[in-house]
Every structure is written in structure tokens, then in C-alpha cells.
Structure 1
Amino acid sequence: MTSAEQQVTTELFINGEARPAENGRTYAIHNPARPEECVGHAARGSVADVDAAVRSAHAAFPAWAGRSYEERAALLRQIAEVLVADEDDVAFRSSLFCREHGKILKETRLEMTRLGDRFLLSASYADRLQAHETLSGPPFDTIITRQPRGVAALIVPWNWPLSILGAKLPQALIAGNTVVVKPSQNSALAPTLTLHKMARLLPPGVLNVVTGSSGEIGDALVGHELVRRVNFTGSIEVGKHVMRTAAERLTPVTLELGGNDAGIVLPDATLDAGAFMRMYFGAFMSTGQICMALKRLYVHRSRYDEVVDGLSAACARQVVGDGMLPDTTMGPLNNRKQLGIVQGMIAEARGAGAEVKEFGAVPDAELYASGYFQKPALVFRPEPGLSVVRDEQFGPVLPIIPFDDEAEAVRLANDSDFGLCSSVWTEDREKALAIARQLEAGYTYINGHGPTAQDSRGPFGGFKQSGIGRNLGYEGVLEFQGYHSISAPAGWLNGA
């Protein structure tokens, strides 16, 4: 797997063609399971490359915006078809994604093959989008409609880059915007190749791709004079910086900044094998590197031991190793920095006296020691001030905390700077809805949590420091448009 023939080099995509970065610069991407293995090289775009991409999108905007919703929808449906038409290509991009990211091959293939579903969903909104509201006078006849904003800058993180891309790119396109996408520098190869396939199906300039260092080109993109919308997914600190930069030109932003999702297990919850696996995947899918992952689990004291035993058994069945290997169920974290954050939280919890248990089989101890691996860990009854409770772990560690009554559970769940997702586990429908409505979160799951429980038709986003605005759903399309009201004297527009 380390031969030069198996390395990939990706280019930028600007104005309808793939091209190298200015001066031919590239940077290396390594396999987090085998850090000595170079998977490939991505183009290291410059400020000049960003400017060329934005100006290309700006030039393409009038013609793209002038197409009907159905014309744009037809191209989105074509993209969805082409993304999965070549099985060999899907397999290649899935394997490449696994090697550069670290998540298991099954998950990379899932993300790769389901991306088109979000294009189809956005295309399905065409009829609804073309409708407008008419208000009859007196005093005026008024048409309330919407129009695209212009060039949209879409900034995608490394953890689920294709799924997150599917939550903003087709929405921007069906809304009538042209786009510049910046994938994460930590996971750029397979996403860039996938974006190239899409871009080749669209008119030149409609979809442009620039890879490289966020520190070098991020501000140039967010602060560009021709960018009319910024959609960013990432950390709180970077999100704040994006907002400050965009504010210089009053560019509107959508920010999805992660979460510290709380789950509440009530006394009447069904706790069978299926429920424990849903909890496990909610917390540990993709090595826990998911913004909507279950990150704090509050359990009624009467069911606490049962949940501990059930989740411990689920964690113990996992096999930790290289995601390319068929028996592996949990791969490494994506990068050394994130591994350090997670291991620091575990060490702090242990140092404070909390019980911490790590689970799972490690078939290759030498690989485990050299890669960015962490076995799934559970932290029992941690103090509320510990970072594993207060902060977003973004890794395979879950605190389990007992509570005595529903009011306490809601208070503990809401005692967070975050407000992205939450879950309620109960067989009482009325109680589930009553508690869900008290939770300060943009999305609440019932008897499930995370990607396996997500309905892409619903808007997704958070409150508090989890962000601003929404992706996905019909509402996610509206984020890329502005309202436009047209008024005339009463009886004039309706022909009376």
C-alpha cells in the first residue's frame, strides 16, 4: 500500500477544468492508521487560486441563476446517478477515503454511495421553490419571492466531508448559487476527486474546488469581495474567526460548530440488544468523530447498571485497527492532535478519580502503538466539571452519568455551551415529546441518536455555540436565498 503507484495527486477545479495550484505546489496526506504511509498529495492552493475560483463562480452566476429550478434539478439528478454509476470508481474512491481518513471501509463506502441521495432530495424541492406568495391590495398588490445570493463559499471539515458536503452543496446549487468548495486539508483526496466528477457535469464556473491550508487561503475565501454567502462546518474557535472575517463585508454566514450531545434514558426505556447497539453507534460510529454523536449519556439511577453492562458488552465486541482490514470495526482518529485531546480527557478523568474502562480487541499491537488509535472508552459517574463532560470529545469516549428525576435530567442536559442534538430514550410518546421540547438543541432523536437516526428532510443545526442557521431540508435551501418583495398599486399586478 505504500508504493508510489498507489499514491494519488489531486488538482484544483476552476472554471470547468482541473488545474494544478499556482507554482505547482502540493502537500502530502498520510494514513492515520499507518502515519509513515503517504496516501497522496493534494494541490496547495494560493490566494491567487482562490481569487480565480471566486471570479469564475461570479462570472457563471447570472446564467446559472437564470435557469429554472427544474433545469437545475435535472442536473442534480444526473450528478446523483453518475456518482455511483461506475462500481470500480466507487470502490477506488472509498478505499482512498479510508486510507486518508482512517474510518473503516464500510463507513467510507456508505458515505460515498449515499451522497447522491441528498442531491435527489434537493432536486425534489424544485416545484416548491418556484412557487411564490401573492398578497392582494389594498393598499398594494405584493409578490413575495426569493432569489439566489451569488457566489457561496462552502467550507467542509475532515470528519464526514462527503455527508456534510451533501448538506450544503446541492442546496446551494438548486437555490441558484454558484459555489467554491474548500475541503479540509486533512481529508482532501477522495472528496476532491468526487467534487471533480460533479463539476464536470455542470457549466464551467458553477462548481469550483480549492484545496490547501486554511491558514493560508481561508480568509481570502471567506473575506472575498465577491462571496455572497459563507457556509462553514468546523470548530467553535474557527467558526468565530469565520464570522468576524465575513462581518467585514456583512457577508451572511451559516455556521455548524459541533456539539456535546446529551442522551436521556428514562426508567421505562426498552434496553434490549438493539437499543444498546443504537447507543453504541450513536456514540462511537466513525471513532466518535461526528458532530451529532452521543457525547453525554444521562441514565435514570434505576437503569444505570443495566446501561453500563449493555454498553460495555457492545464496546467489548469491537476490533480496533486499520480500517481497510475486513474484521476492523473501529479505525484510528484522523490526526495526532485529536488523539491527544481525547487521551488528555481520559487521563484527566482518571486523575480525578472517575472510573474509566477501555474495551475492544487489538489484533496488531505494533500498529496500534504507531497509529492514532484509541480503544472505545466509557467513563462512569464523572464529576460534571471534567472536560469529558463539559467539552466535545470528538473521539471514542462516552461519560455515563446517573440522575434521579426528569427535571434533573433536563437541567443536566441543558447545562452546556452547546446545543446541537439530543436524544430521549423511553416508550412513553407523550413524555418523549414533552422532554424533547424542553431540550436546548436543534435536533432531538427518540430512541436513537446520530447519523443512523437522522432524517435529512429536517433542517439541521444548533443553538448556543453549536452555530447559526441550518443545513439540510427545504430550510437548508432557503439559507442560500434572500427574500425579494415586489409591490404595485392595488389591482395592478393581479390585472383587476
Structure 2
Amino acid sequence: MTSAPATSTAAGLLIGGDRVTNSSGGMHQHIYPATGLPNATVALAGAAEIDRAVDSGTQAQREWMSLTVDRRRDLLIDLADVVHDHLDEFARLNVHDYAVPLSFAGTAILLERFLRHFAGYVDKPNGVSTPVNGSFDINIIEREPYGVVGVIAPWNGALAVAASCVAPALAAGNAVVLKPSELAPLAALRFGELCIEAGLPPGLVNVVPAQAAGGEALVRHPNVKKIHFTGGGATARRVLVAAAADLTPVVAELGGKSANIVFDDADLDAAAMMAAHQGPLMQSGQSCACASRILVHDRVYDDFVEKFVAVVGSAKIGDPFDPAVAFGPVISAGAADRIVTEIDDAVTHASGELVTGGRRMGGELSQGYYIEPTVFAGVDNASAIAQTETFGPVVSIIRFGDESEAVQIANDTPYGLNAFVQTNDLTRAHRVARQLESGSVWINTFSDISPQGPYGGYKQSGFGRTGGLAGLHEFLQIKNIRIGMR
């Protein structure tokens, strides 16, 4: 396990085109989760740096909006081209950031796609005029940028959030202060550098890794006009409280406890493969889209469990830089301890049968934060292991008898971000999808976020959308202009 360097040079904040290493938030020693060893020292933003970043963004946003729409469009396309040229670098930075296996680390392709897609909206008309009752006045309805928006990204998807939030925010005419987690700041900082290399005004995209104090300063800043937060529900509540001081609007994309319903007519081999990768394997289950509750029809339950466990057991575990590896560590020692505690609690309370996994991994992986892919079968949906977002490589398999029971179990959760359905019956697919309380429903496929499709949650999985026209509109506010015609 020698892929991550033992040390590297310090990574500074990116504010107004400058690297800032002497910051009031101090320095953070970044740990590579596959080895437990440091691989970077990262500057953290405090209130002073947040203030500087917002000021820089305010000036850059004015410059951005002074450019013609075709020039802004072309600059976003240029940025997409630059990102394309650095896809391999971004993949490796993702591995260094949070030890996601290289085979799953290509999230920068999303960034390129979102930039190209939303660049196409920059020069499209987005206003309308309407008649007014009892008058010949001219009534114009326009959409305008907010100004400076704050984007708070989680450690497990800084580039995905840059894609789904920064791209439409820029296309809408805003400047962005992007706050990646101190646990995974490297790829986001590189993206900020490329924004400048592509010719965007310095300060249009500021990147400020920070801990809770810096994040709160960003949310509470009076000149940040909108916040987009991606993360957990507990932190989201704190964000909403902080934003309430100035009534700053917030979009929140939060966690999930997604159900994957396997009907008896599904292709079980394909369903088992999809469930394994959408469940415990992809990012070691550390994904808001993780399908951690697998609902299986009685008729095929035993066959599915056998096939599923075989797929999980065949995944290669090891060095995340090995292209053949499909399963890596969790993000930190604290996360590993928490996940193992939840597994032990499930065993103690007989929440289901522990079919495989459940332990920290030893041997050459013992210094990293590796937990075996863990499968519980025969789980009661009311149990903690089925209701709590573990955010680790742990899944529950639950039996159901008919379609109505499957829908009832799937919806019996406080979350509603994603749901998955495996069936070859098209009518059933439509019928069930419309009954599921979820922002996205994926039929016979993985979650595959695209710039054309709006993405967001129901219930405690959040509110607002990224992607699609709805995602663009999240970064625009409506103005009505009426011109009297006497």
C-alpha cells in the first residue's frame, strides 16, 4: 500500500486567483484512508478568509455579468475542454482525497458534461412577457442571478457537486464560493485552478476548504445570497438555523436509505450485480445513492441472496490505485469505528442474519480503514440497521410477498432520495415508480446522474433540485418589470 505519498506540499485556499496558506482556520493534516498515513497538509478557511472570498466573488460576478452572453457561454465551454484534458488527473486526485477505487473515481466526467450542458443555456432567452388584466402595460418576467452563492460539498463527491451546482450557478450568472470538506479538498482545489486557467475571472470560483466554523461563516455571510448544501441531515439542520438569520434561501440534498425492489420476474443475475455495486461496493457504501435496503420477492429470495453474496464476495479489495480493485476503505478511523458499532448492535439485537462481513479487515489492510462488505438477511424493516443511514458497506435484505407490500416497505423510511426497481414488466415498473416516495426512481439500472435530469429528495432527503431546467432555476430569482403604457 504505497500509492499515497507520505507527505506533500501544503495546499492553500484559492481566493481571487491566489493561493492562501496563512489562514485563520489553521492547517489540517489530510489522512489517506487506505493507509492511515498523511498525504497532504491543507489550509482551512476561517471567517476572515470567507469574508475575503465573498468580496472577491462579488467583484468577479460583476465582471462576469459585464461579458456578453456568447463570451460567457464560450468560457464555460473552454472550461469543459480544460476539465476534459485533466480527467485522469482528477481521477487520481479523487483517490488521494478519499481512497475511492480508481475504477469508480472518474466523477470529473460529470463535471465536463454538466459544464457543456449548462453552457448551452447561457445565451438562451429565459424571460417572458405577458398581457395584464385591464391594461395595455408591458409586463416582463425575467430571471436574474443571485450574485454570490455558497456551495457546500461533502467529502464523497466534491467534483459531482461542482458539476451539479457550480456549473448551473455560473451559467445563471452567479459567482461561487465552494467549500469542500477538509477530508477531501484536493480535487476541488484543482478545479478552482482550472477555472482560472480556462479564462474565467479570478474570484468567480473561490475554493475554501473549511471545518464547521468556516462553513457557518459562509452560511451566515450577509452577501451570500443563496446556499446549496449537500450532506447529512444533522448538519443540514445547523445550516438552516444559520441561514435563518438573514433569511438566506437554502437548497439541501441530504441522505438516503434507498430501497432496491427485486421482483420475481427480474433477471436475477443482472439484479444481483446491480444491487452489489449500487449497495455495499460503490464507494464502500458511502454514497447518498446507496441502495442499502434490498427488498426481494419470496419466490426468488433464496436464489437472489446466493447470487448477491457471490457477487459481493468476488469483488477485489485492496489498493485503490489498482484498476482491478472494486472496494476500498471508509473515510476515517472514526467512521470505521461507528460502522462496526452499528453492525455489532444489529447482531446483538438480532436485527437479521449476518450472512457475510461485519469486521475490520486485517493483514496488509489493517492500517487503513477497511471494513468487510457486510450483508444482513431476513431483516425487519423497523430495525435500526434498516432505518438508519449507515454510510458504509452494510446492506439489509428484506422479504416481501406482493407488490403492495414491497411499496409499503420501500416507503417506510424518513428518507426519499432514490429508489430502484428490478422487473421486466413495463406496466409494473410504471405503476410502482409512481407510488414510490422518492425524488428519483431507477428501473433496471444504476443511479446515473445526468445534466438533463433533475435530482433531489423527498421527505428528509432534502428539497430543491440539481440538474435539468429545475436545477438551473435554483440559481436564478424571478423579477417582474411592468412598464405603464399611457
TM-score, normalised relative to structure 1: 0.91
Contact 2:80 2:113 in 1 (8 A): yes
1:163 corresponds to which residue? Answer: 160
3-state secondary structure, aligned to 1:487? strand
Distance 1:94 1:186, change over 3 A: same
- 1:405 Cα shift? 1.3
3-state secondary structure, aligned to 1:330? coil
CA distance in 2, matches of 1:3, 1:132: 50
- Which of 468, 479, 482 is residue 487 of structure 1 equivalent to? 482
- 1:3 Cα shift? 9.1
Q: Does 1:132 align with 2:127?
A: yes
Distance 1:310 1:361, change over 3 A: farther
1:463 corresponds to which residue? Answer: 458
**Aligned residues with identical type, % of pairs:** 32
Structure 2 matches for 1:230-241, cutoff 5 A? 230-241=227-238
- 1:331 Cα shift? 0.5
CA distance in 1, matches of 2:285, 2:443: 20
Which segments of 5 or more consecutive residues in structure 1 lack a partner in the other structure?
none
Structure 2 matches for 1:17-56, cutoff 5 A? 17-22=18-23, 25-35=26-36, 37-56=37-56
Further displaced range: 12-21 or 141-150: 12-21
- 1:68 Cα shift? 4.0
Contact 1:34 1:367 in 2 (8 A): no
CA distance in 1, matches of 2:243, 2:4: 43
Contact 1:33 1:331 in 2 (8 A): yes
CA distance in 2, matches of 1:168, 1:393: 26
- 1:77 Cα shift? 0.9
1:321 corresponds to which residue? Answer: 318
- 1:245 Cα shift? 0.5
- 1:93 Cα shift? 4.2
- 1:438 Cα shift? 0.9
CA distance in 1, matches of 2:3, 2:116: 37
Contact 2:455 2:466 in 1 (8 A): yes
Contact 1:21 1:44 in 2 (8 A): no
Q: Does 1:57 align with 2:57?
A: yes
Contact 1:42 1:212 in 2 (8 A): no
2:439 corresponds to which residue? Answer: 442
- 1:328 Cα shift? 2.1
CA distance in 2, matches of 1:3, 1:420: 34
Contact 2:10 2:21 in 1 (8 A): no
- Which of 116, 119, 122 is residue 118 of structure 2 equivalent to? 122
CA distance in 2, matches of 1:360, 1:263: 21
- What CA deviation, in whole Å up to 9, does each residue of 1:151-170 have, x standing for no partner? 10011000122112211001
Which segments of 5 or more consecutive residues in structure 2 lack a partner in the other structure?
none
Contact 2:32 2:96 in 1 (8 A): yes
1:331 corresponds to which residue? Answer: 328
Q: CA RMSD in A?
A: 2.2
Contact 2:317 2:325 in 1 (8 A): yes
Structure 2 matches for 1:204-219, cutoff 5 A? 204-213=202-211, 215-219=212-216
3-state secondary structure, aligned to 1:29? strand
3-state secondary structure, aligned to 2:268? coil
Q: Does 1:301 align with 2:294?
A: no
- What CA deviation, in whole Å up to 9, does each residue of 1:175-205 have, x standing for no partner? 0111111111100123212222124431122
Instruction: State the aligned residue count.
Output: 480
- 1:224 Cα shift? 0.2
CA distance in 1, matches of 2:414, 2:22: 39
2:286 corresponds to which residue? Answer: 289
- What CA deviation, in whole Å up to 9, does each residue of 1:364-383 have, x standing for no partner? 94233221111111110112
- What CA deviation, in whole Å up to 9, does each residue of 1:289-337 have, x standing for no partner? 1101111111111111121112111101112222123442201001122
Distance 1:474 1:10, change over 3 A: same
Q: Does 1:11 align with 2:12?
A: yes
**Aligned residue identity for 1:211:** P
